[in-house]
Amino acid sequence: MFRVSFLFIILGFACISCKSEDKKYTDTSKSNIDALLEARYEKFLDYNLDSLAFARSYSWGEKAIHKRPSKDWTSGFFAGNFWQIYMLTGKEVFKERAKLWTAFIEKEKLNSGTHDMGFKVFCSFGNGLKVEDNQEYKDIIVKSAQTLSTRYNPHIGSIRSWDFNRDKWQFPVIIDNMMNLELLFEATKISGDSTFHNIAVNHANTTLKNHFREDHSTWHVLDYDTISGQVRARVTHQGISDDSAWARGQAWAINGFTSVYRYTKDKKYLNRAIKTANFFINHSTLPEDGIPYWDFSHPNIPDISRDVSAATIVASALVELYQYTQNEAYLNYSKKVVQSLKTNTYILPKTLKIPFILDHSFGDWSKRAEMDEPIVYGDYYFLQTLLRLRDLNK
C-alpha cells in the first residue's frame, strides 16, 4: 500500500497515493521533470566509493541506505546505473565513477556459488562494453560464463538457481534465471565457444516447457528431481502464493525470453514473450498508469503496494519486443510507464541525498524486506528503457 496519505493528481492516470513525509513537486511540465531527473542523477556522485557498500535500497523506516558487497545479486545494477547515466547525459564524471564501481565486481567472475552472474557481471561490465571496446571486460565476461556453466546440469537441462533450502529443494530453478542467459550468449559471441550458447538455449527450452501456466503466467520456483530430471514441485518464494502471478516474476520471463529471441531468432521464444507480455499488460488488475501491484493475484488489491521495478523491467523489454512485432500496444505501454514514472508521485525529491531515482519498488515478501521502497533494479531498468526509447527514436 502506498504510504500514509492519498493525493489526487490529475495526470490522465489512475489516482495513486504518495508519502506525506515527502514534499512532492506539483510542476509536472517536461522541463521540470527533466530537471528532477538530472537532480536525481547528481545524487549518485554524492555517494562514497566503497567496495563493500553497493547501494541496494533505501529504508523509509530506518532512513538508511541498505549497502551490500559485490557478491550481492544487485551489485551490477548499481555499477550499471552509472554507465547508463553516462550514456544518457554524456557527462564523463559518470563514466569514470562507473569504471571504479565496476572494477569492484571483477572478483565475482570466480564466484560459483550463485546463478546471478548475469545480473552482477553483465549489467556492469556488459554496459561498459557498450561504451568502449575493452578486452579486459570481454575476458571477465567469458570467465564469468565459464563459472556460471559449472551450475548447469545436463540431465535436467537447467542452471541451478539457489543453494539454500537443500532440505526442501533438490534442484531449484527460478524464473529470474532467464535474465542471466544474456551473459552466456555474449560470451559465445566474444570467445567463439558455442558451449555457452548451447547451455543458454537448453535452459531456455527447459523453462519454456515447464515454467508456464495455461494463462501464460509463470510460476516463480520449479524444483527438479536430480535423478529423474522431472519437476518435483512448482512453488513461489516471493509471490503471495504458489499459484499467484508475482509481478516481477512475469517481468523476468518477458524480458528474458525477448533477449533469447534476440540471440537465436527462434520464434518459439518470441511467442513465449508475446503471450506473457499480453498477460501482463492486459491483466484486469493492472492500474491505468501501468504500474502493477506487486502480485497480480493478491486478494487485497487495491490495498497493497505497487512494484515500479516490475513495470520498468517490462517497459524495457517491450521496447525491444515492439521492434520484433511492430505491435504498437507494446511501445505504448513502455511510453506510458515512462510518463507515469516521470511524475512526482514516483520520482524521489531532489533534496533527498540518496543514489536512487524512483520510489515504490517491491522487494521480497518472503523476508518482509524492501517493501515499497527505492530499489536499485527499479532504477536500472528505468534507465535502460530511456536509452532504448532514445535509440528507437534515432
Q: What's the CATH code of the domain at 9?
A: 1.50.10.10
* Nearest residue to 164 via CA among 172, 175, 152: 172
pLDDT, position 35? 87
Answer whether residue 236 is part of any domain.
Answer: no
Answer whether residue 56 is part of any domain.
Answer: no
pLDDT, position 29? 67
User: Structural domain tally of the chain?
Assistant: 1
pLDDT, position 393? 84
Whole-angstrom distance, CA of residue 78 vs CA of residue 45 = 12
pLDDT, position 344? 80
* Nearest residue to 79 via CA among 114, 106, 112: 106
Task: Per-residue pLDDT tens, the chain, 394 aa: give them.
Answer: 444 332 222 223 333 333 333 333 345 566 777 888 999 999 999 999 999 999 999 999 999 999 999 999 999 999 999 999 999 999 999 999 999 999 999 999 999 999 999 999 999 999 999 999 999 999 999 999 999 999 999 999 999 999 998 889 999 999 999 999 999 999 999 999 999 999 999 999 999 999 999 999 999 999 999 999 999 999 999 999 999 999 999 999 999 999 999 999 999 999 999 999 999 999 999 999 999 999 999 999 999 999 999 999 999 999 999 999 999 999 999 999 999 999 888 999 999 999 999 999 999 999 999 999 999 999 999 999 999 999 998 7
pLDDT, position 254? 98
Answer whether residue 96 is part of any domain.
Answer: no
pLDDT, position 147? 98
Whole-angstrom distance, CA of residue 353 vs CA of residue 356 = 9
Residue 390 belongs to domain spanning: 1-46+265-394
C-alpha cell at 39: 537532480
Answer whether residue 159 is part of any domain.
Answer: no
Reply yes or no on whether 46 is catalytic.
no
Answer whether residue 144 is part of any domain.
Answer: no
Whole-angstrom distance, CA of residue 197 vs CA of residue 202 = 9
Answer whether residue 279 is part of any domain.
Answer: yes
Reply yes or no on whether 176 is catalytic.
yes
Whole-angstrom distance, CA of residue 314 vs CA of residue 337 = 9
Rounded to 5°, the CA angle 270-276-279 comes to 140
Q: Which of 72, 176, 289, 295 is catalytic?
A: 176
Q: Which of 22, 27, 46, 116 is catalytic?
A: 116
Answer whether residue 9 is part of any domain.
Answer: yes
pLDDT, position 2? 47
Answer whether residue 73 is part of any domain.
Answer: no
User: Which of 342-353 are b and which e, b meaning 16 or more Cβ less than 10 Å from the residue's Cβ?
Assistant: bbbbbbbbeeee
